[in-house]
Amino acid sequence: MKKMRIFLLATYVFLNQIVTFGQQAADASIIINADQGKYTIDKHIYGHFAEHLGRCIYGGFYVGENNQKIPNTNGVRNDVVQALKELKIPNLRWPGGCFADTYHWKDGIGPKKDRPTMVNQWWGGVTEDNSFGTHDFLNMCELLGAEPYLSVNVGSGTVKEVADWVQYVNHDGVSPMANLRKENGREKPWNVKYWGMGNEAWGCGGNMTAEYYANIYRQYATFVSDWTNSKQIQRIASGASDADYHWTEVMMRDIPKNLIEGIALHHYSVINWGNKGSATDFSEDQYFSTMRQALLMDELIIKHKNIMDRYDPDKRVDLIVDEWGGWYDVEPGTNGAFLYQQNTMRDAVLAGATLNIFNNHADRVKMANLAQTINVLQAVILTDEEKLILTPTYHVMKMYNVHQDAALLPLDVKNIMYKNGNRELPAISASASKDKNGAIHISLVNVDPTKSNTVNLTMHGAALANISGSILSSPKLQDHNTFDNPNKIKPATFRGFTKKGDQLMVTMPPFSVVVLELK
Ligand code: AHR
């Protein structure tokens, strides 16, 4: 039986890796315009998000300084730091999410034994002991080599509280808050650049109208200053949910351009908020619906961008997709408010296709944050006490990190369709970039779960030479890594391509993610 399974697996791998050129015409075709790179793919598109939610911070990032069982640095797990550094994590958003608009940062500084507790009202009503606070987060970012992105409390805080936080973390001279920081053991400021002015102000951040929030934003943004006028601070307005174009219109219309550097957008790939479905036990119909939601990101960005272009043709204000990802039912037996879900090949495809969309909108999308890094929603890492596993989404983000800060190469795509009954979606997702050393990377996703697809690549302005590739694939869409089988899904060398004249024929297995490198 075991031998049979190995034989079937080997046959699957073989069939999916061989080049079918000669038997089958190219399905999709893509021209890569290597001589037309105009925009840089900001590395911050590959950002992450850590909220005080479930086991993201506690048990995920942070296990406490006194933990003898799990190796840590000042309470932060060493295995997490290593995995995220290997991912080249560029930034981390904190402390929420909905939690941010309940958070009072002064509760999280000073000796831990003296810190007050609070109730985490959005995420299960659990007691938050504030043992992970500003110093813990910002020092952790230094350890990770990631830029911190702080979301301030607009919903239930005060302007003074926010102004004090900025002074506490950024002021280099003598000031009440800088002095307090020094008393708490940190001499030099952290120089935090990214500041989110509340979160989901239309919902958990205060149920505000766009017009009301735009005024509040103006007030808060006025007091988020770096005192030097060096324009180092990026103030990001709480943005629209999905297709709420009115929200973006009002932000762009009512906020003076000298007070705003970015506007957010949140979009989750959810089949149905009332019936999200299992993360691991899903049908092809459900897969299709998830992917339709994921690919909707392109339309959302185009339409929000169109509004921004009308008010800001010079593209001074960035679009920041600071929450995105797949959202399913929690794993059976886990706390419903903790949003712990598994991560399958569906999530790998979702991540690959979404990152391609962000890359292709590099002119305006300058940052994005996958929700959320560890143990929450579409996590890249799952932990169970001292055990840690990397999810398929982690592997995709690592394969794609070659695009960070590379020049986006425009594509001309002639796509084919993935059909599901009378519904259809583009089958191939792609983006390409040229890095500082001249290497070209092409990321391709075969969204179609029913068949292999071939893409015929043509390069304009560069040679199709010295090609190598990696692939993430698995026999079943529902496959995932577990604590018992942590390496079931991991990248492998990809050989499914062949050159013919000035073209490259690339054949990808169903629901797979491929990154090619041309040097
Ligand atoms: O990521 C989980 C939650 O989703 C965030 O707290 C909130 O901003 C969004 O609704």
CA torsion 208→213→217→218, rounded to 10°?
Answer: -150
Q: How many helices (H) and strands (E) does the chain have?
A: 10, 27
- Alpha-carbon distances, residue 67 vs 51, 138, 142 (angstroms): 21, 20, 21
Distance 97 CA to ligand 1 centre (A): 5
Check pLDDT > 60 for residue 5.
Answer: no
CA dist., res. 470 & res. 513, Å (int):
8
Helix (H, G, I), strand (E, B) or coil at 333: coil
Q: If you measure from the C-alpha of residue 100 to the centroid of ligand 1, how many angstroms do you get, rounded to a whole number?
A: 10
Cβ–ligand 1 contact at 510 (below 6 Å): no
pLDDT digits (tens, 9 = 90+) for 317-368: 999 999 999 999 999 999 999 999 999 999 999 999 999 999 999 999 999 9
- The response to whether residue 97 sits with its C-beta less than 6 Å from ligand 1 reads yes
Indicate whether residue 199 lines ligand 1 (CB < 6 A): yes
Distance CA(292)–CA(346), nearest Å, equals: 12
200 catalytically annotated: yes
Q: Is the pLDDT reported for residue 218 higher than 50?
A: yes
On the question of pLDDT at 217 being above 80, the answer is yes
pLDDT in tens, 477-500: 999 999 999 999 999 999 999 998
The alpha carbon torsion through 436, 138, 118, 61 (nearest 10 deg) reads: 60
43-405 is classed CATH 3.40.50.300: no
- Contact (CB, 8 A) for 371 and 347: no
Percent with pLDDT over 90 in the chain: 92
Which ligand 1 atom sits nearest the alpha carbon of residue 339? 2
Write the residue with the smallest CA distance to atom 4 of ligand 1.
97
Residue 349 has a CB neighbour count (10 Å cut-off) of 30
Q: Is 379 in the pocket of ligand 1 (CB under 6 A)?
A: no
Could you confirm whether 284 is annotated as catalytic? Answer: no
Closest residue to atom 6 of ligand 1, CA basis: 97
Confidence band of 226 (pLDDT split at 50, 70, 90) = confident
Q: Which pLDDT belongs to residue 426?
A: 98
| Candidates 249, 323, 331, 386; catalytic one | 323
* Long-range residue pairs from 421-425, CB within 8 A, at least 24 positions apart, any chain: 421/285, 423/288, 423/292, 425/288, 425/291, 425/292, 425/295
Q: Residue 378 pLDDT more than 70?
A: yes
- In a 3-state reduction of DSSP, which class is residue 160? helix
CA 411 to chain centre: 23
Measured between alpha carbons, how far is 484 from 265 in angstroms, rounded to an integer? 37
Tell me the whole-structure pTM to 2 decimals. Answer: 0.94
Of 236, 399, 381, whose CA–CA distance to 323 is shortest? Answer: 236
How close is the Cα of 203 to the center of ligand 1, in Å? 10
Q: What is the pLDDT of residue 455?
A: 97
* Percent of the chain at pLDDT exceeding 70: 94
With CA atoms as reference, report the closest residue to 249 among 202, 308, 290. 308
The residue-averaged pLDDT of 297-302 equals: 98
Ligand 1 contact, 101 CB (< 6 A): no
User: Would you call the peptide bond into 95 cis, given omega within 30 degrees of 0 as the criterion?
Assistant: yes
Cα-to-centroid distance, 415 and ligand 1 (Å): 34
* 306 Cβ contact partners less than 8 Å away, ≥ 6 residues apart: none
- Please report the atom of ligand 1 found closest to the CA of residue 98: 6
Statement: 25-37+410-518 belongs to CATH 3.90.960.10: no
Q: Which residues contact 354 (CB under 8 A, 6 or more apart)?
A: 294, 297, 324
Is there an atom of ligand 1 within 6 Å of 265 CB?
no
Mean of the pLDDT values across residues 82-92? 98
Break the chain into its structural domains and give their ranges: 25-37+410-518, 43-405
- For the stretch 152-196, pLDDT in tens is 999 999 999 999 999 999 999 999 999 999 999 999 999 999 999
Asked whether the CA dihedral 15, 20, 25, 26 is positive or negative, the reply is positive
Q: Contact, 294 vs 353, CB < 8 A? A: yes
Atom of ligand 1 nearest to the CA of 372: 1
Cα 297 to ligand 1 centroid, rounded to whole Å: 17
